[in-house]
Structure 1
């Protein structure tokens, strides 16, 4: 299994898909607890949800599961949310705070996983971002995520449907942020928030350098809006998904109109 799958396009948008993969090497799978082997914290079906939206996008997808190593975490192991419950480069607990490993992997094994899986994903993502930047003079990384809407270990209450992250507005041009915020705010039947519990993961924060023409924004979707249920077997609900895809397509089509030469209008 290759660590990463790349679909190349000529649009100024690159989709990042770090958490849709479900591949776990047999040697690692056997180390997981019975609960861990359900792979419950997958961003289920996100690649399917975005597939076919706004033609000619580039997509970079991690094929490995986040329990192997999390492609959206700082490779140094620094926490994304100091002082809050979260999961690390190789998570030791699931999103409910329950242990994932029969015996927690040691530092040397975590480094092996980083080199084998995390690094190739980001090498591919960096290469595609640079390629698209060279074509257009800028690039927009749209990082695609989803999560269960109720996880008390990570956040209080019910998560909004559409969670936009720009790390406080520093990872992209204000016009890009405004475009996404406005579309989400006007999406009938969906709630939204900017820089709430999810402000953008390491990917968004690392690659978002708007002064250099590298813009990054994260979208964390509540899975209730496109799954039949937020529990095993996490089946895709085509009817729910089609309604959500209308708004996701609207976002991507409008982001394609972004032009630094027009003062950042999107």
Structure 2
């Protein structure tokens, strides 16, 4: 990908007819790295990919033939992170003055993981010099905002057609925590913002389905859901958002980024998961009477 965004920065894989009230989103699996971005980075072509949710869009591709749209980023998270507020920006990164409305004090900015990230995983600095404010704002105007406009339209259309909408925000996580013990993570972490972004029936069903398929599942720790889950999840209005983090060790070699032999099995299990989740009773997923008033 170039700074002119050829190929397009994101796309929607859509079924001929949407048959289920679900929208799937893969905002961090993009792997088209702009040439100018790579030239401005101090990292090599492998190291810069450490924050990438490699292949997550492929793992959830079965949602489309089941009747749900899948929005997927082609741009990399290290270049632009749409799972942040639009203007979570670290002023130390930029040559020029940020707009007054920028959020420069969030915890994510402090950690180097704002809308324009300063680091990738393991605290590796991306840039070898400040970048122009105009370039950062151009990414937000030209890609971030159209991405969220597309996601909003998909959810609004789903809500209108079915009476409610479910957003499944798809991510991956490193297989181990960086501690002396090298502690392993569970197979899946489900994030519902501690019950505020979706009906409990949805997150409970998701956990039970995955456990029934033989996977270990944890809810909200260490990932409770990011900006997308928090921003779009309004269960009282019939808008539900659930974040899914998949342990990368299940499907890829984290050093070489190559798919493991079990990749196909996991993709098959995720197809079963999506079908089972779409079949749960919808009684608790419609807008509440209080929200309708």
Q: Give the 3 Å change call, closer, same or farther, for CA 81–170 of structure 1 in structure 2.
A: farther
Higher deviation after alignment, 57-66 or 179-188: 179-188
Whether the aligned pair in 1 keeps the contact of 2:209 and 2:276 (CA below 8 Å) is: no
Aligned to 2:114: 88
Superposition deviation, residue 49 in structure 1: 1.3
State whether structure 2 residue 201 is matched by structure 1 residue 192.
Answer: no
State whether structure 2 residue 266 is matched by structure 1 residue 244.
Answer: yes
Superposition deviation, residue 27 in structure 1: 1.9
Provide the aligned C-alpha RMSD in A. 2.4
Aligned to 1:57: 68
How far apart, in 2, do the equivalents of 1:201 and 1:159 lie? 19
Q: Can you give the 5+ residue segments of structure 2 that lack an aligned partner in the other structure?
A: 1-6, 89-102, 287-293
1:1-266 equivalence runs, <5 A: 1-9=7-15, 10=18, 11-35=20-44, 38-53=48-63, 55-77=66-88, 85=111, 87-152=113-178, 157-188=183-214, 190-227=215-252, 229-232=253-256, 234-237=257-260, 239-260=261-282, 262-264=283-285
If the length of structure 1 is used for normalisation, what is the TM-score? 0.88
How far apart, in 2, do the equivalents of 1:115 and 1:122 lie? 11
If the length of structure 2 is used for normalisation, what is the TM-score? 0.80
Q: How many residues align?
A: 258
For 1:141, what is the secondary structure of its paired residue?
Answer: strand
For 2:172, what is the secondary structure of its paired residue?
Answer: strand
Whether the aligned pair in 1 keeps the contact of 2:108 and 2:114 (CA below 8 Å) is: no
Deviations 1:174-205 (A, max 9, x none): 110110111223332x3210000111111111
How far apart, in 2, do the equivalents of 1:117 and 1:82 lie? 20
Runs (4+) off by over 4 Å: 78-86
Q: Give the 3 Å change call, closer, same or farther, for CA 61–80 of structure 1 in structure 2.
A: farther
Deviations 1:39-63 (A, max 9, x none): 2321111111122246111111111
Higher deviation after alignment, 249-258 or 209-218: 249-258
For CA contacts below 8 A with separation 6 or more, give which structure has more relative contact order.
Answer: 1
Which structure has the larger Rg? 2
